[in-house]
Amino acid sequence: MKETLVDGGPEAPARRGPPKSDGGAESARRRKKLVTVTRPWLLLAPSLLVLAGLLLWPLIQVGKLSMQDYEVKFGGGVGTFTGFDHYTDLLSSGLLWKTVLPNTVFFAIACVGLTVALGTLVALLLNRLGHFWRLICSIAILAAWAMPAVTGTYVWIWLFQPQDGMVSQIAGSLGLIDPETTNWFTERGPFYAIATLNVIHHGFPFVAITVLAGLMTIPKELYEAGELDGANAWQRFWNITVPTIKPVFLVVTILSTIWDFKVFTQIYLQPGGDGSNEDVYNLGVFSYIQAFAKNDYGTGAAAAVLLTVLLLLITVVYIRTLFRQGEEDL
Amino acid sequence: MSTRRTTLTSRAGLSVAVAALLVFTLFPVYWMISTALDPKASLRGSDVLPSGISFEHFTYVFEKGNFGTYLLNSALVGLATIVAAGVLSLFAAIAVARFKFRFRTSVLIMILIVQMVPLEALVIPLFIQMRDYDMLNSLLGLSVVYIALSLPFAIWTLRGFVATVPKEVEEAAYIDGASWPRMFWSVLLPLVAPGLVATSIFAFITAWNEFVFAYTFMKGSDKYTAAVGIYQFFGENSTAWGPVMASSTLVTLPVMIFFVVIHRKLGSGLAAGAVKG
């Protein structure tokens, strides 16, 4: 790759640009222009190839699959074109509207709201602490962040495990539940409440650290002026903090939204989340189960496309936000 | 007097808030490690302290659970991802941060868009492709997927770092007669090294933590990654919580150590990448 960085690499015929006189200076200039045009693309080429081959191409394939009945025959796959059948089936199914979409959307809204609220509160707290406690709290936050989704999920399952789990036993000893018969994971509400706790625990550190970085850029004079004008803490937060670092809030909210719409591992690993309990399906799990457990790749792909379209809409908002930030031209 | 009282109450408030934060963030971590060390793990219930300390669950996951192989698989895949994603994203970041060219904004937008693609949309077609090309169960195949997954964020973050290197530094080196490779090695690389460290660690963590692809693609049990290897101790009806938490600890601790070691770099990495966009 190194030679791509060298100015005036191997001579190549200049295809672009109108041919002019063949003077030495002219060809040197043309060569230089060619280098200027191709150099960024040579640098980008490996990344773009990987992204195109492993992200873009599969996306096109999933679109194609969603309009096929796909069967595995003699080790290879055979697709039969079925048009929009999978979509009409999917969009007319009660499961989608009563279970899958509400689970996906309400869970994402709850997770985003709580993650951003908690992350902001923690950022405000960190901003008020002295060096020592800020360091201690930052390390604790990093520990929560560093916990992989898989292991984090196992810990939350273990805490809420029927009968033996710590929370179940404490709730039982307080007389709130009967630990012998209560299973938090069989019903939608408690199932998603536990998943929400898990996702918040894993997700708020990013918000806290990003918002803290934003808070530290706000000039102290603004608050002093606010205090002189008699603004209380709440007013100072709403009228000074929020408007000043609004772009930071927008970005963490939209990023969290994108992440929380596609939560998979945390749901799939919880008891019943692997498809054995239809009540707790979200869009991602539904798509995965259809494809890999039921061998119905077409419907799975259609659900995946639906999720992608949802996320694409959110991403458009994200990109517009970034552009409107206008701190730097992209 | 009244200001003194408010300081006292706000002090108390701060202490309560700090205590609550520490409990919420650290208790799950503590619970994982102490269960892993508790010889009677599965009977723990609501005992906050373990009934004893023993490493038997750790020995068990290595001897009976083949966990050493899984950790090695994860490390190999992670290493491949770091190297490839680091090199590719640095080149791409230089291109988008240093040069003005046509479609530059479009390229950046495309990179942002692929970041949102849900894994569930990719796992179905990639599974079919990998199966057709006989690439299932291949650590290389898995690494390639992880490289692609970590690229958008790595490019986006590194771009911020490259942009913060003043052009004047490069121009000065250029006037002194440095060639492009020389400038790259002696001027640019040392200055973006912190960013490269941050993105490498993110790439490593992406590969180390990933579950969906590893779980779907790696079906031969000696090809599991560590994150998937835990699954085997997790029973439908009765779960061996000691081994589950011991293996979870083994997966989590390296990431935590990484995070704490680089926490200063992490802050600036995010500030350069995510915040300033």
Residue B121 included in any domain: yes
Res A10: pLDDT: 43
Instruction: For residues B217 and A63, give the distance between their C-alpha atoms in angstroms, rounded to a whole number.
Output: 21
* Confidence class for position B270, pLDDT limits 50, 70, 90: low
Query: Which backbone phi and psi does A32 adopt, to 5 degrees?
Result: -65, -40
Same-domain pairing of B246 and B144: yes
Name the CATH architecture for the domain at A84-327. Answer: Orthogonal Bundle (1.10)
What is the average pLDDT value for chain A, to the nearest integer? Answer: 86
Q: Calculate the alpha carbon distances from B187 to A5, A266, B3, B181 in Å.
A: 14, 44, 53, 10
Which chain A residues touch B134 with a CB distance below 8 Å?
none
Mutate to test the interface with B, among A54, A69, A185 (most CBs of B within 10 A): A54
Clarify whether residues B109 and B235 are in a common domain. Answer: yes
Average predicted confidence (pLDDT) for chain B: 86
Tell if the CB–CB gap between B123 and A214 is shorter than 8 Å: no
CB contact under 8 A, B120 and A262: yes
Q: Yes or no: say if A11 and A31 are a contact pair by the CB < 8 Å rule.
A: yes
Domain layout of chain A by residue ranges: 84-327
- CATH number (domain holding residue B171): 1.10.3720.10
- Asked if B45 and A169 come within 8 Å (Cβ–Cβ), the reply is yes
Same domain, B34 and B133: no
pLDDT tens digits for range A170-215 = 888 888 888 778 888 999 999 999 999 999 999 999 999 889 988 9
B119–A contact, CB cutoff 8 A: yes
Angle between helices A24-51 and B139-164 (to 10 degrees): 130
Q: What is d(CA B179, CA B146) in angstroms, rounded to the nearest whole number?
A: 34
B237 phi and psi angles, rounded to 5 deg: -105, -45
Domain count of the fold of chain B: 2
CB contacts, 8 Å: A210 with chain B: 270-271, 274-275
- Is the Cβ pair A288, B123 closer than 8 Å? yes
pLDDT at A203: 94
B167/B31 same-domain check: no
What are the beta bridge partners of residue B184?
Answer: none
Residue type, B260: V
* Nearest-CB residue to A151 (from B101, B248, B276): B248
Read off the pTM: 0.86
Q: Are residues B21 and B124 in the same domain?
A: no
Give the pLDDT of residue B189: 86
Per-range mean pLDDT, top range of A103-107, B171-175, B273-277: A103-107
Where would I find the beta strands (DSSP E) of A27-122? 68-73, 76-81
Nearest chain B CA: its distance from A319 CA (Å): 7
Q: Which long-range contacts (CB under 8 A, 24 or more apart) does A7-15 make?
A: A7/A35, A7/B179, A7/B180, A8/A32, A8/A35, A9/A35
Residues of B in contact with A138 (CB under 8 A): 263
B34: domain range?
8-53
Do B38 and B162 fall into the same domain?
no
pLDDT at residue A283 is higher than 90: yes
What is the phi/psi pair of residue B98, to 5°?
A: -105, -30
**Mode of pairing for the β-strands spanning A68-73 and A76-81:** antiparallel
Three-class secondary structure of residue A70 per DSSP: strand
Determine the Cα–Cα distance for residues A204 and A138; give it in Å rounded to an integer. 12
B196 min Cα distance to partner chain A (Å): 16
By mean pLDDT, which of A247-251, A326-330, B6-10, B91-95 is the weakest? Answer: A326-330
Judge residue A15's burial from the number of C-beta atoms within 10 Å of its C-beta, 0-12 exposed, 13-18 middle, 19 or more buried. Answer: exposed
Task: Name the DSSP letter for residue B242.
Answer: H
Segment A43-80, tens digit of pLDDT: 999 999 999 999 999 999 999 999 988 887 766 777 88
| For chain B, the helix, strand and coil percentages under 3-state DSSP, each to the nearest 5 | 80, 0, 20
Q: How confident is the model at residue B67 (pLDDT cuts 50, 70, 90)?
A: very high
Q: In whole angstroms, what is the distance from residue A281 CA to residue A275 CA?
A: 7
Contacts of A62 (CB under 8 A, 6+ apart): A301, A304, A305, A308, B121, B122, B124, B125
Establish if B274 belongs to a structural domain: no
B147 and B100 part of one domain: yes
State how far the Cα of B126 lies from the Cα of A61, in Å rounded to an integer. 9
Looking up tokens 């796909």 gives A70
Minimum mean pLDDT range among B9-13, B26-30, B153-157: B9-13
Of B155, B245, B260, the CB nearest to A142: B260
Q: Please tell me if residue A140 touches chain B, with a CB cutoff of 8 Å.
A: yes
Quote the Cα angle for B84-B89-B95, to 5°. Answer: 140
* Residue B163 pLDDT: 86
Contact criterion met (CB < 8 Å) for B116 and A258: yes
Does B163 fall in a domain?
A: yes
Do both B25 and B122 map to the same domain?
no
Residue A216 forms contact with B (CB below 8 Å): no
Q: Kindly state whether residues B159 and B90 are assigned to the same domain.
A: yes
Say yes or no: B160 and B144 in one domain.
Answer: yes
pLDDT at B224: 93
With CA atoms as reference, report the closest residue to B209 among A27, A269, A224, A172.
Answer: A269
Does the pLDDT at position A4 exceed 50?
no
* Contact between A125 and B248 using a beta-carbon 8 Å cutoff: no
The verdict on residue B205 lying in a domain is yes
User: How far does the CA of residue B33 sit from the closest CA of chain A (Å)?
Assistant: 10
Average pLDDT over residues B177-187: 79
Question: A21 to chain B nearest CA, in Å?
Answer: 26
B222 belongs to a structural domain = yes
pLDDT confidence bin for A290, thresholds 50/70/90:
very high
Task: Assess whether B75 and B205 both reside in one domain.
Answer: yes
- Does residue B90 share a domain with residue B175? yes
Chain A residues inside the 8 Å CB shell of B121: 58-59, 62, 287, 304-305, 307-308
Please list every residue in chain B whose beta carbon sits closer than 8 Å to the beta carbon of residue A319. 109, 112-113
Residue A1 has pLDDT above 70, yes or no: no
Which is more confidently placed, B268 or B243? B243
